[in-house]
Structures are given as structure tokens and as C-alpha cells.
Structure 1
Amino acid sequence: MSFQSNTTLVALELRNSVWLVGTRLAGAQKTRMHRISAGDTAALLTLFKGLRPNQRPSEDSAPIACCFEAGRDGFWIHRLLTDHGIAAYVVEPTSILVNRRAKRAKTDRLDAEGLLRVLAAYLAGDSQICSMVQVPSPEEEDGKRIHREREHLVQDRTRLENQILALLATQGIRSRPSLRNWERDLAALQTGDGRKLPPRLAAEINRLRRRLGLVLDLIRELDAERDEVLATAPDDPVASKVTALRSIYGVGDNFAAVLAREVFYRPFGNRKQLASYVGLAPMPHQSGDMDRDRRIGRAGNARARKTLVQLAWLWLRYQPESELSAWFRQRVGKLQGRTRRIAIVAMARKLLIALWRFTETGEIPAGSTLRAA
């Protein structure tokens, strides 16, 4: 949508109980504030309708542009407004330029007025004033649910396992009973001073084991659902990319799903845009005679970035003959510590670009091997 002098600007400041709606009519300098109950879409649409009080049916609709910050409300408001012919924008909150003074006033009214200024500048052509979120379709958003839920379950699994080990460590026991033979192994445990495990502690550990078993069952259920989705939608472009990534030796099913549904489902113009979206692009620092790259920005998709760094370590193990692994060995050699961690991030960026080209053009990463059919 191009900025026009007769564009009415609207900013939504979303809160749990009340929404503050700031409006600025075309050509006006004053901002009006309206309060509606959170989630009251009928009142919101009525408010938008009231912004065109003198419009005749034969006249073209006066343009209205609305924006709000990305947050816990997701994208359903954007879809609602778009379905009613209202241009909606979702602002990335951390990208808004703000006053750098140490202390500044902070109220919902000031935030709404700030969003109106940002929206006006963005529509006037200032694309550096903020970043707008590319809203995914409902299908794309729903496709991310499986691997995101699985990630939370894996965190629960790790937490429960560590909790069991910590309780056993308080009694001088350094190993956890096997889940296959839990009752037998738990009964045979002895504390570091030769006593049997206290009954209350054994009961608590057993309850933790039952919760751990439920989490493991849910993870297996999600893995089966993920495979079923790929089998029932072979013509889906994103599912095809997941299948293609799984064909590379060393790229697991979950890693392939995360990369395809978090990153490769979006179009990218070049590799710099791709690395910037994931947060693996270095930050330039130039001042006078100084011109160098600092650490990565980390302003992109944290889930995809973590997955890529993990995959880079696995790539060294499962694809040792590839050009990327050779580059890493030549660059790092036998060095350890910080140098090795910096180099693995650089390799993760190169691996991201190589996998992106593979999903888009079929170009196999140089020197890598594929799984047997």
C-alpha cells in the first residue's frame, strides 16, 4: 500500500483486558484515543466504520492503514482486518528506533502515538524506520506446531531426567535406574553410606519416572504425526523440502522439519537476506580507519539458529569428506575453545546457504553424501 494524503492511520496497543486504539484522520495533526475491551472485534470494526462517516456508496473507500506490534495475540487480528479490506501491518517491536536517553516516559498512549508516527513514516517510504513481520498463512503457521511442541517436550524430558539424577545424587547415587527395568533397578539401589533408598524419596522418583514416560510417549506420538503429514501431502512444496533435506546423510527428521518450516518456506532474494533472517549475519563496524565485522546479530529466528549450530557439529561427524568439513579443519586445525566456537557459527552460516540452494535448485552440497534410497 502506497502512502496517500487521505490515508487514515490507526495503531492498536494490545493489552490483556483493554485495547487502546489511536486514530489520526487524513490531514489531521491530533490523535484521538479509543478504549475497547480486549478481543471485542465487533467494537473494533464499528470503530473502523466510523472513520468513514461521510462516505457514499458510490465513492471509493478512503484508505485506512492499521498497525500493531507482534506479540502474544499472534496474527489473527491481522487476518481479521485484511478480510474486511483494511491494510494491516505487524511491527517487529525490537526494530523500532527509539530515543536513546537513559530515561524516557513510557505509557500506552505514548506507545500508540509512537506507532502512528512509525506507520506514517513507513508508508511514506522510510523502510528503515522499523521492520514489518511477514505474516504466515494459517497453513504455514499450523505446520510449525509439531516441531515446536516437540521442542518443548524435549525440554521437559531433559528437566525430568536431570531432576531424577539430582535427587539420586543427594544420596550418593550417580546413575539412574533403567526405564526398561525400573522396578528391579530402583529396589536394588543403595545410598552412598549403604542404606536402602528412603521410601518417600523412592515414591517421588517413581512419580517423576511416570511423568517422564508420558513425555516420551508424547514425543513418539508427535514423530509419528510428523511422518504421517509428510506421507499424506507429498505435493506440498514445504513437505517436499523436508523430504529433500532428510535425504542428506546426517540431517535428521526433526532438523529437516525445523529448517524447512521455519526458514525455507519463505522466499529470499539472496544469501545475505537468508543469513540475516536466521540471525547469522555478522554486524559490520566501521569508524574512521576501523572496518571489521563484529559478532553475529542474533536478531533473527532463534529456533532455526540453534538448530543450525547443532547441525554444524553433526555435519563434521557425518559428512567428514565434504568441502565444508574440510574448510573447518583447515581453518581451525587443533585449536579448541573460543576459536572453535566462532568457527562453527561461520560454518553454520555456510551450511545454511548450501542447504537453501539444495532445496531451491537441487544442488547437492559439495562433497556430501546422500542416504541410500
Structure 2
Amino acid sequence: MLKVKTNFSDQTIYVGLDVHKRSWNAALYLNDQYLRNIHQPPSVQALYKFLQTNYPGAEYKCAYEGGKFGYWIQRQLQGKGVHCIVVNPADIPATHKDEVSKTDPRDARGIAMALQCGQLRGIHIPGLQQESDRSLVRQRKKIWRDLVRCKNRIKGFWIIRV
């Protein structure tokens, strides 16, 4: 049986990602039409391979919510030629129904739809040096808070004993 390959050149696939530590949900849109939702391992390579296999020749535009995962996903996707933005979670339009029934596929679909409609604007992506500097400052603040906590514990211990 002959397999027919569709060529998606001159078309744009919009991908909304809901990223988590153990898995990612990706919703795909093409020409104002929802295509599908995929659940996959947390890997840029797996996502890119899926897109290349199922939608060859297309331009890919991707968005995900900024959060604790940082910017490495965006950097790796950009390195593979996928236009990717990181968005502020508060900027993603949501209905009351989305708030009441919150699921990962629904979140991914909302991001993809907003991206396709042009409603999303990316946040500033800091350089690697700036990101590592910020991380260092955060760690210093955490250590300082721990030190103050320990000093207060010792002072409390001595107040009780004296």
C-alpha cells in the first residue's frame, strides 16, 4: 500500500505547550483549526521529531508559560529553527470554564489558540550569563535567610536557658 505524504510547506503549525517535569502536553493548530493534542515525554527532541514526521515542511511557532523551567526549552527550540516564545501566564486569555475545569490539554489548547490569533506577546529572554547571575543572587538570598533563621534559633535557645 502506497503511503501519501502531505506537504505542509507555506503553512504554519501553531504549538501550545503545557510543560511539566514528567511530561508535556502539546496542542496543534493549523489554519484556525484544532488538529490534535499530544502527550509526550519532556523532550525538545521528541517534540521536534513529532512535528517533522507528521507535518514536514511547515513553519512551526510555539509558546509556553514562563515558570520554574526557565528558558532552556525556548533556546533549544530556537536552535532547531522553531520560533518559540515564553509568555506570562497571566497574559493567556481564559474563560470561566477554563478556570473551573483546568486540565493540561485544555491549557495547551488555550495557549496554541491565543498564539494563532496573535494575542500572545513573549517576555524578555535573558542571556545565559544574566540568567546564571540571577540564579547566583537567588541562592545567596536563600543562604542568607537560612543563616538568619539559624541565628534566631540559637538566640531563642539561649533565652530559654538563661
Quick check: TM above 0.5? Answer: yes
Matched, 1:136 2:140: no
Q: Deviations over 1:80-127 (max 9, x none)?
A: 0101111001011123233357x62111111111101211122xxxxx
- Higher radius of gyration, 1 or 2: 1
**1:118 corresponds to:** 114
Within a 5 Å distance, the mapping from 1:1-373 to structure 2 comes to 6-25=11-30, 27=31, 29-38=33-42, 40-53=43-56, 55=57, 62-100=58-96, 104-122=100-118, 129-171=119-161, 191=162
Q: Using the alignment, how far apart are the partners of 2:159 and 2:135 within structure 1?
A: 36
State the shift of 1:51 in Å.
4.2
Structure 2 CA distance for partners of 1:82 and 1:140, relative to 1, 3 Å: same
Local SS of the residue matching 1:112: helix
State the shift of 1:46 in Å.
0.4
**1:125 corresponds to:** none
Structure with the bigger percentage of strand: 2
Structure 2, unmatched stretches of 5+, are 1-9
**1:363 corresponds to:** none
State the shift of 1:131 in Å.
4.6
For the 8 Å contact 2:16–2:26, the answer to whether it is kept is: yes
Q: Using the alignment, how far apart are the partners of 1:86 and 1:154 within structure 2?
A: 40
Q: Using the alignment, how far apart are the partners of 2:96 and 2:44 within structure 1?
A: 36
Q: Deviations over 1:219-257 (max 9, x none)?
A: xxxxxxxxxxxxxxxxxxxxxxxxxxxxxxxxxxxxxxx
Q: Using the alignment, how far apart are the partners of 1:104 and 1:94 within structure 2?
A: 16
Structure 2 CA distance for partners of 1:96 and 1:169, relative to 1, 3 Å: farther
**1:315 corresponds to:** none
Structure 2 CA distance for partners of 1:135 and 1:82, relative to 1, 3 Å: same
Q: Using the alignment, how far apart are the partners of 1:120 and 1:106 within structure 2?
A: 21
**2:4 corresponds to:** none
State the shift of 1:50 in Å.
2.2
Q: Deviations over 1:61-90 (max 9, x none)?
A: x32100111122111110001011110010
Structure 2 CA distance for partners of 1:96 and 1:28, relative to 1, 3 Å: closer
Structure 2 CA distance for partners of 1:170 and 1:18, relative to 1, 3 Å: same
The 10-residue stretch of structure 1 (86-95 or 160-169) with the greater mean CA deviation from structure 2: 160-169
Structure 1, unmatched stretches of 5+, are 56-61, 123-128, 172-190, 192-373
For the 8 Å contact 2:94–2:110, the answer to whether it is kept is: no
Structure 2 CA distance for partners of 1:169 and 1:100, relative to 1, 3 Å: farther
**1:222 corresponds to:** none
Q: Deviations over 1:28-66 (max 9, x none)?
A: 52230112112x33312201212433x4xxxxxx32100
Name the aligned partner's letter for residue 35 of structure 2.
T
Name the aligned partner's letter for residue 112 of structure 1.
A
For the 8 Å contact 1:31–1:113, the answer to whether it is kept is: no
Q: Using the alignment, how far apart are the partners of 2:94 and 2:29 within structure 1?
A: 21
Local SS of the residue matching 1:30: strand
Q: Deviations over 1:300-355 (max 9, x none)?
A: xxxxxxxxxxxxxxxxxxxxxxxxxxxxxxxxxxxxxxxxxxxxxxxxxxxxxxxx
For the 8 Å contact 2:27–2:112, the answer to whether it is kept is: yes
Q: Using the alignment, how far apart are the partners of 1:13 and 1:65 within structure 2?
A: 14
TM-score w.r.t. length of structure 2 = 0.82
Q: Deviations over 1:237-288 (max 9, x none)?
A: xxxxxxxxxxxxxxxxxxxxxxxxxxxxxxxxxxxxxxxxxxxxxxxxxxxx
Q: Which structure is richer in relative contact order (CA contacts within 8 A, separation 6 or more)?
A: 2
Local SS of the residue matching 2:37: strand
Name the aligned partner's letter for residue 117 of structure 1.
M
